[in-house]
Amino acid sequence: MLQDKSGVLLVNIGTPEAPTKTAIKKYLKQFLSDQRIIDIPRWLWLPLLHLIILPTRSRRLVQLYTSIWMNQGSPLIVYSQRQCYELSKKLDIPVALGMSYGNPSLKSALDILVRQKKVKRLIILPLFPQFSCATAGAVWDGVHKVFSGYRSIPSVYFIRDYAQNPTYIAALKASVIYSFQRYGTPDLLIVSFHGIPKRFVHEGDDYPERCYATFKLLINALGMNLNTAMLTFQSRFGYESWLAPYTQNTLKILPDKGIKNVHVISPGFSADCLETLEEINIQNRKIFLHAGGTHFEYIQALNVNEAHIKMMKELVTPFF
């Protein structure tokens, strides 16, 4: 009996197609309309979104995206496409890239794998190391929505997260050691994860546990402790209470405590993007130095690091 053909779907969050108000507004509309992201009642949220948030936020983000844009496009899509290409070279099965929001869409990626390549065993790898309902949960919803229009669907193997994967931790460790060797050992290593509303946690999202699991394994692997490494949360949106301590607020007060040399890593991002290249490496760098810090070093995401691609291969291989 012939074995069913396998294929891999890589998924990341998505990005505007250009650093323009029109493209950013289009992306934000899709992103902020998802109830996994903003679960305020639609009758209240949608008018606010369309009348206030989209016009103002899209205009403000033009400059921010422009500051990090690469010749080939948005860093997130550039690195994600390279990840897809490098993983496909290591596997003898089809690999496609889809984004939860924007392009390439989940539908376009699934059409390639299921309809064109005739995949019957689908391995889905959301590139979010720590599970959250707002990221991996949204991927699950998006795939289900696409499949609702298919007459035939494949067997599905969904990789929930890889927060404690040994190869992932080893790759992070190597990145930190490289930074320390090149720029000197800092007073403090800040391990910054994307935040979520605390309310999500009270409703059952185990995201903070997954972040702490990664943090603990990483600092143990580095031989560090809570005196030399600190976990924080970034990218707060809106006015409700989010996971704390906030990265930005932490960086403001560290110099007054005598901590003037920091390195920052954001392990929750599999590819560099606006939240790392602009928020961390530009905005937060300025905040720290303005507060009296003397040295700030951002440790880049794993991107197309060879160990990162090796980890992806290790994660998907058992399912085909």
Phi, psi of 30 (to 5 degrees): -70, -45
CATH 3.40.50.1400 range(s) for the chain read: 6-162+307-319, 166-299
**The predicted structure's pLDDT at residue 239:** 86
Rounded-to-integer distance, Cα 123 and Cα 142, Å = 15
Residue with tokens 């031989």: 223
* pLDDT value for 2: 53
Tell me the two tokens of residue 234.
Answer: 């970034």
Q: Specify which residues 7 forms β-bridges with.
A: 122
Beta bridge partners of 129: none
Question: Cis peptide leading into 16, omega within 30 of 0?
Answer: no
Strand partners, 213: none
In whole angstroms, what is the distance from residue 98 CA to residue 84 CA?
10
DSSP labels, 97-124: EEESSSSSBHHHHHIIIIIIS--SEEEE
Q: Rounded to an integer, what distance in angstroms lies between the CA atom of residue 50 and that of residue 30?
A: 11
Q: Counting beta carbons within 10 angstroms of the beta carbon of residue 154, is it exposed (0 to 12), middle (13 to 18) or buried (19 or more)?
A: buried
155-158/229-234 β-pairing = unpaired
Residues 6-162+307-319, CATH architecture: 3-Layer(aba) Sandwich (3.40)
Q: What is the pLDDT of residue 86?
A: 98
**Residue numbers in the chain where pLDDT is lower than 70:** 1-2
Q: Is 209 annotated as a binding residue?
A: no
Type of residue numbered 312 = M
CA angle 31, 33, 35 (to 5 degrees): 100
pLDDT of residue 199: 96
**pTM beyond cutoff 0.95:** yes
240 annotated to bind ligand: no
> Which pLDDT does position 3 carry in this prediction?
73
CATH class of 166-299: alpha beta
Reported as a single tens digit per residue, the pLDDT across 194-247 is 999 999 999 999 999 999 999 999 999 999 999 999 999 999 988 899 999 999
Backbone phi and psi for residue 161, each to the nearest 5 degrees, phi listed first: -170, 180
The pLDDT value given to residue 203: 97
What is the per-residue DSSP string for 165-180?
A: -HHHHHHHHHHHHHHH
Question: How confident is the model at residue 1, as a pLDDT?
Answer: 44
| C-alpha–C-alpha distance, residues 103 and 157, integer Å | 23
